Amino acid sequence: MLFALLASFCITEANAQNSAGTNLNIHLNDIQSIKINESQSNVGISLNTSNDYINGKSILEANHIEIMSSSNYEIRVSAASNLSGEGATIDIGTVTLTPTQGNIGGESQGSITMSPTALSLTDNTLVQSTSGDIKRSFDIEYHVSGGSEYLNKPTGTYSTLITYTILMP
C-alpha cells in the first residue's frame, strides 16, 4: 500500500505543469487620414483658345486624393474664396470636381458613391463609402465651365485654396 501511494505521488508530480494566463485587449479607435498627391499640390487650367472660353476646359489629376478610414466615410470639398486675381474675381461655382476611383485600393467591401460637385464656399459631399478602406485613391477631374463669367476679366492667374475633408457621416 505504501508502494502504491508513493507511485501515485510520483506520477502526479511528473505530470504537474506550471502556466499563467493574460487577457489580450485590442482597442480600436476611429482613424481617418486624407492627403493630396504631393506632385499635384498646384492644379492649373489655362484657357488658351476661344473653344476653352466657350466650352470650358478640364484637367484630370490621377490618384489626386489618397485616404484611409477605419469605418464608413465621406469626403467633402470646399473653396476658401471665389477665384481671385488682378483686381477681379470669378465665381467658384463655375468649377466642377468629378471623382472616380484611382489605382490604389482593391475591391471595396461596401458601396462607394461618387458625385460631381460644383465648388462652393461651404462643404459639399464628393464621395461617400459604406465601409472603411485601408488605402484608397480617387482621381479628380477639375472642370472650368468657361462662358460669360470668364469674359471681360484682366488676364492673369485667378486662384483659391481647395480643402478636402474626410469624416464619418
The alpha carbons of the chain give a radius of gyration, in whole angstroms, of 29
pTM: 0.85
pLDDT at residue 26, rounded to an integer: 93
pLDDT in tens, 128-166: 999 999 999 999 999 999 999 999 999 999 999 999 999
Which residue from 137, 168, 169 is spatially nearest to 31, judged by alpha carbons?
168
In this structure, are residues 70 and 109 in contact, taking their beta carbons and an 8 Å threshold?
no
pLDDT in tens, 86-127: 889 999 999 999 999 999 998 888 899 999 999 999 999 999
- What does the domain layout of the chain look like in residue ranges? 40-148+158-167
